[in-house]
A and B are shown apart, each in its own frame.
Chain A
């Protein structure tokens, strides 16, 4: 028994929409590690809907965003264990760091071994402040500007800069110059 919508058509839809949807979900999710589950749930729901009714192709993206919103709410309602993360750590070290971190740290200046980058990304993803992996994804993978990222995450530009530069400093300290980071 074949489905009404065949997989090749679904593949076309996926190709056209997945980048924007992925960006949307990464921005909206609470933890970047949940992205895969949420995006798959969203497309599975779309599959179910497309098998029941036709959707106008122009509306597909906004339809998907609507489904994604519902899936995100449902996902976190079911799995809610997050605590509210403050921008600043309890001991408020960050307040000093904003003033002391040079904003000229460049990722290309870091001296990090070749085979350590998997751990670098894992370190970033595991940060308690999940804005950090989101910012890194949007800044380094999608090449968005700090202004664009600030708009998407509804944060200030200085906050975004602060996250990037502080994390780079940490990467330098933990993974550069002989890899001092122990997981």
Chain B
């Protein structure tokens, strides 16, 4: 073999289209496996995500105190009774005396309710500001946890501070749920279709 043939042999060994092809096929097969994996993995992940989301949403479990949707809160429950207050009783104002409460201007209606135990003791109070599709319900009680219209596990609540008062807040698509202790009252506030700005203004106005 002369030098030219030797060099040619070395070049052919180094720049070898057959070797390139073998590597190429390996890459193609690897891509195919990844592609198949993607078609399985992405739907699986989506399924897990949707299941998780539905699971969290389904944390709403009714407790015995849940009020049914009704035009008024006159509702007889096995343990508690909610009665609309038609100014028959003076209900305590749970906020500071000089509090200037900021309610969204379109919440044109307001009502108050008293929650009684089966022994006709006052259990808690409810202030409700509302219109046809928006509302702010402020339930409060001195010695008890006020009656709530929801139940969520503790984990879903986030802590926020307003004027150094710690609030537990959770929200879903249309509702906010806020719990805190202030001015010696335990509060449980539920809002429907109230935006974050309106909520912030309201909370800041009552938590002075």
Chain A residue nearest to B7 (CB atoms) is: A140
Size bracket of the B interface? 20 to 34
Determine the chain A residues whose CB is within 8 A of the CB of B6 once the complex forms: 114, 117
Hey, what's the 0/1 contact readout for B5-29 against A, CB within 8 Å counting as 1? Answer: 0111111101101001101110110
The answer on a CB contact under 8 Å between A40 and B3 is no
Cβ–Cβ < 8 Å partners of B4 in chain A: 107-108, 140
Residue B36 at the chain A interface, CB threshold 8 Å: yes
Cα–Cα distance between A109 and B2 once the two chains are bound (Å): 9
User: Could you say which of A1, A40, A112, A140 contacts B11, with CB atoms under 8 Å apart?
Assistant: A140
Question: What is the total number of residues of chain A having a CB less than 8 Å from a CB of chain B?
Answer: 33
Residues of B within 8 A of A125 (CB): 14
> In angstroms, how far is the closest chain A Cβ from the Cβ of B103?
59
Chain B residues with CB under 8 A of A117: 6-7, 9-10
Contacts A7-B28, A108-B2 given; does A40 touch B23 at CB 8 Å: yes
| In the complex, chain A residues whose CB is within 8 Å of the CB of B35 | 1
Instruction: Give Cα A36 to B23, complex, Å.
Output: 10
Interface contact B8-A18, CB-CB below 8 Å? no
* Partner of A107 from B7, B9, B20 at Cβ < 8 Å: B7
- Give a binary string over A31-57; 1 marks a CB under 8 Å from any B CB, 0 the rest: 010011001100110010000000000
At the interface, yes or no: A19 with Cβ under 8 Å from chain B? Answer: yes
The docked-state distance in angstroms from the alpha carbon of A180 to that of B32 is 50
- Say which residue of A22, A43, A44 sits within 8 Å of B15 (CB atoms): A22
Neighbour of A136 across the interface among B9, B11, B17, CB < 8 A = B11
Q: Is the CB of B17 within 8 A of A19?
A: yes
How far, in Å, is A138 (CB) from chain B's closest CB? 10
State which of A11, A110, A141 has its C-beta within 8 Å of the C-beta of B3: A110
Whole-angstrom distance between the alpha carbons of A141 and B12 in the complex?
Answer: 7
Please name the residue on chain B nearest to A40 by beta carbon. Answer: B24
A137 at the interface (CB under 8 A from B): yes
* Shortest distance from the beta carbon of B85 to any chain A beta carbon, whole Å: 68
Shortest CB-to-CB span from B24 to chain A, Å, is: 5
User: What are 11 of the A-B contact pairs (CB < 8 Å)?
Assistant: A10-B28, A32-B15, A39-B17, A107-B4, A108-B3, A118-B10, A120-B7, A125-B14, A136-B7, A136-B11, A141-B11
Q: Which residues of A contact B (CB under 8 A)?
A: 1, 3, 7, 10-11, 14, 18-19, 22, 26, 32, 35-36, 39-40, 43-44, 47, 107-110, 112, 114, 117-118, 120-121, 125, 136-137, 140-141
Other than A112-B3, A125-B14, give 16 A-B pairs with Cβ distance below 8 A: A1-B32, A1-B39, A19-B17, A39-B20, A40-B20, A40-B23, A44-B28, A107-B4, A107-B7, A108-B4, A114-B6, A140-B7, A140-B8, A140-B11, A141-B11, A141-B12
